[in-house]
Amino acid sequence: MKQPGVRVEAVGLLTGWGPGVEALPAEARTAAAERAVIPLARPALDGERFRRATRECLLGVAAVQAMLEDAGLTRDTIRGERTALVFVTAAAYGASNVEWLAGQAGTLHFPYTAPSVLPGEVAIEFGLTGPYVILIGGPAATVDGLWQAGRLVADGQCDRALVLAVETFQECAALWTRARWTLPQPLVEATACALIGPGDSPVTYAPLAEASSLARAVERRAGRTLACAPLAALALARAAGSARAVVSGTWRGRTAAIELAIAAQPARV
Amino acid sequence: MATPVGLDLDAFWSGLLAGADGLSAVERFPTADLRVGRGGEIKKLPPAALAFRSRAAALLAAAALDLTTRAQLEAAPERIGLVVGTALGGVEELDHALSDDDGARRALDGLYDSPAHAVAAWLGVRGPVLTVSSACASGATALGLGADLLREDAVDLVVAGGYDTLCRFVMRGFDALRSLTRDRVRPFDRRRTGLLLGEGAGLVLLARERDARGPRLGRLLGHGSASDASHIAAPDAEGRGLEAAIRAALAAGDVDIGDIDFVSAHGTGTVLNDRIETAVLRRMLGARASVVPVNSIKGALGHTMGAAATLEAVMCLLAARDGWIPPTVGFEEPDPACDLDYVPGACRAIRPRRMLSTSLGFGGCNAALVLEGAA
């Protein structure tokens, strides 16, 4: 059934600084103290199925788990064909690719070099069998992902859409250092997700030529989290009790923005 | 178009109709340590495309060159989008970046969205530039997302399609997985033993119906995608994700399965894919399953990964335009588990009107397109 619009129902955020927005420092650059990369540890997830899974796959699973816990939702809320999965990353596939290129990985590692395997693991873990979109790019691509997720919900192609982003940099730190004139550091590893459901925000790009104030706040506090940044912005807005937020992303000279309604965070007991 | 059977739309089409074999010994990188050293390699690219450092961007540029000789990008640059699918992006540049120290540019070229941005800048596109990477289903989803941008009035024109290069990175991977055949590629054939990889790029210009100018190839009526959520590398044993994607594409286009009169299958030539895809198509087509022609062009091109679905979609539209369906090159001996009409031997004189194209990829990706000829 077509919906009048959409809203953000839940947000999950893990960064190299720690879980949630509470862990973000006031100034990432100062807190980084010359470190080029602020890493995120491999999540300790149980299960034989995760034996071969890469760190970035587990980070994707951990973000969704954190989001469900934060919003007081069960896995059944998102399981099945009525939840879409939209995954965005600029660089999380780099670690697997470097490992494969170095010739250190076994045969069964090769599929993990595909960016689609990270959301594939998340889909298996949470039983997500709905519409499936995978975008490559930085923050602007995540805004495109939020737009796409909203469109899928508003069109009635699904009841909810999970937008997930993961960024890891540790394994390719030397390459990123070479690119530091393009991507100022610190690069902060992160994984974030937002659950988009029916609401009252129309699904349209917001006309914005430069970064929104939220985007600037995220970069100041979190550092460079690339595709995770717009989702971190939603987490910041939600934690501040905002009912709406304009999130933007700038990447390779293009700024994309979208305004979204945000459901209130459940009261903590 | 830039494909192993031709570097423009006409050569691609005549090659497919003639049953051309675009597979050959790979020359561009060493394969002596691999079980299989054959693939759908493009031996020579247009000089203008070679201005790009990365082969991925060069392939995409070759397709863009062909496209812009046939259609003009007549819209404000910021109202033109570019949406392309790829399984590998600029990964070959990552290999180069690791083995030399060519500064930042090569490292950034290794990002999967670099080829799209390079070609967008070259074309003067200043609207959204999206890179889709749903593995070997990428080219289908890219066309779908391009159509969504138009439908929602986010842009006025979209250059959409897919590309991928044949490089050592991916050859070594599929070789290690024992997915590559030492025989020829035989989609749906009883003797099929695997796929061969190919490279290529395909781009189309999408416009809203009311804005379309000049001759049109056809219409994208609907697209759908779905996740298997069952295995990271193998298709779902029942093909449930593929079936869901087909149903979504039909629903989006408001098309009944009974109106589909040609199917371009993913048809990789692997034992599992072809059996599962056949079962899904048989379920979907019902009583008409034996009479609706189904082909795979991967026997001619190899599996061009991110390019495949776009090349197959264009093939569908050309079939509708000219009234010929290309054969499934390599299909000779029927398999009891694959019992559809796979267009064996030679091209067939049929003018399909509404067509279905299916794609699958690593990560449980499934996508489907419903197309209609211009007629």
pLDDT digits (tens, 9 = 90+) for B104-128: 677 788 899 999 999 999 999 999 9
pLDDT of residue A145: 98
Interface contact B232-A112, CB threshold 8 A: yes
The answer to whether A222 and A165 have CB atoms below 8 angstroms apart is: no
The label of the residue with tokens 């969704």 reads: A64
The answer to whether B198 and B4 have CB atoms below 8 angstroms apart is: yes
Overall size of chain A counted in residues: 269
- What residues in A contact B107, CB-CB < 8 Å? 175-176, 178-179
Give the closest of A135, A179, A204 to B108, CB-based: A179
- What residues in B contact A102, CB-CB < 8 Å? 98
Q: Which residue of A has its CA nearest to B126?
A: A254
Q: Which residue of B has its CA nearest to A137?
A: B113
Q: In the beta sheet, which residues pair with residue B54?
A: none
Interface contact A114-B152, CB threshold 8 A: no
User: Distance between CA B110 and CA B116 in Å, rounded?
Assistant: 12
Q: Mean of the pLDDT values across residues B152-181? A: 97
How many degrees, rounded to 5, is the angle at CA A94 between CA A220 and CA B34?
A: 175
Phi-psi label, residue B304: left if phi above 0, alpha if psi -120 to 50, beta otherwise: alpha
Minimal CA separation from A237 to chain B, in Å = 25
User: Distance between CA A135 and CA A154 in Å, rounded?
Assistant: 20
User: Distance between CA B41 and CA B163 in Å, rounded?
Assistant: 13
Number of H helices, E strands in chain B: 11, 11
How many degrees, rounded to 5, is the angle at CA B277 between CA B275 and CA B280?
A: 110
Interface contact A132-B113, CB threshold 8 A: no
User: Distance between CA B25 and CA B19 in Å, rounded?
Assistant: 19
pLDDT digits (tens, 9 = 90+) for B326-366: 999 999 999 999 999 999 999 999 999 999 999 999 999 99
Q: How confident is the prediction for chain B on average, in pLDDT? A: 96
Confidence of residue B319 (pLDDT cuts 50, 70, 90): very high
DSSP letter for each residue of B55-68: HHHHHHHHHHHHHH
pLDDT digits (tens, 9 = 90+) for B212-253: 888 899 999 999 999 999 999 999 999 999 999 999 999 999
Q: What angle, 0 to 180 degrees and rounded to 10, lies between the N-to-C axes of helices B55-70 and B114-123?
A: 40
pLDDT of residue B107: 78
Minimal CA separation from B29 to chain A, in Å = 14
Q: What is the pLDDT along chain A (269 residues), one digit of tens a residue?
A: 777 899 999 999 999 999 999 999 999 999 999 899 999 999 988 788 888 889 999 999 999 999 999 999 999 999 999 999 999 999 999 999 999 998 878 888 999 999 999 999 999 999 999 999 999 999 999 999 999 999 999 999 999 999 999 999 999 888 888 777 677 789 999 999 999 999 998 999 988 888 999 999 999 999 999 999 999 999 999 999 999 999 999 999 999 999 999 998 766 54
pLDDT of residue A71: 94
What tokens were used for B290?
């034996």
Strand order in the sheet with B294-295: B218-227, B365-373, B354-361, B262-264, B294-295
ipTM: 0.97
pLDDT digits (tens, 9 = 90+) for B28-77: 999 999 999 999 999 999 999 999 989 999 999 999 999 999 999 999 99
Percent of chain B with pLDDT over 70: 99
Backbone angles phi, psi at B323, to 5 degrees: 75, 30
pLDDT of residue B102: 62
pLDDT of residue B375: 66
Give the closest of A126, A127, A148 to B145, CB-based: A148
What tokens were used for B305?
């990964």
- What residues in A contact B365, CB-CB < 8 Å? 116, 120, 132, 134
The answer to whether B333 and B346 have CB atoms below 8 angstroms apart is: no
Q: Which residue of B has its CA nearest to A80?
A: B229
| Helix, coil or strand: residue A18 | strand
User: Distance between CA A215 and CA A207 in Å, rounded?
Assistant: 15
Q: In the beta sheet, which residues pair with residue A260?
A: A245
pLDDT of residue B106: 75
User: Distance between CA B375 and CA B356 in Å, rounded?
Assistant: 17
Q: How confident is the prediction for chain A on average, in pLDDT? A: 93
Q: In the beta sheet, which residues pair with residue A118?
A: none
User: Distance between CA A80 and CA A129 in Å, rounded?
Assistant: 5
Q: Mean of the pLDDT values across residues B86-95? A: 92
**How far from B137 is each of A55, A216, B310, CA to CA, in Å?**
25, 35, 9
Catalytic residue IDs of B? 136, 266, 303
Q: Mean of the pLDDT values across residues B178-196? A: 98
User: Distance between CA B262 and CA B312 in Å, rounded?
Assistant: 12
Interface contact B133-A134, CB threshold 8 A: yes
Q: With a cut of 90, say whether residue B101 has pLDDT above it.
A: no
Q: Mean of the pLDDT values across residues B162-188? A: 97
pLDDT of residue A179: 74
pLDDT of residue B373: 97
- What residues in A contact B363, CB-CB < 8 Å? 111, 114-120, 123, 134
- What residues in B contact A180, CB-CB < 8 Å? 104
Confidence of residue B96 (pLDDT cuts 50, 70, 90): confident
Give exposure, B118-156, as e/b (b: 16+ Cβ within 10 Å): bbbebbebbbbbbbbbbbbbbbbbbbbbbbbbbebebbb
> Which residues neighbour B149 within 8 Å (Cβ) at sequence distance 6 or greater?
B81, B83, B128, B155, B158
User: Distance between CA B63 and CA B54 in Å, rounded?
Assistant: 15
Percent of chain B with pLDDT over 90: 93
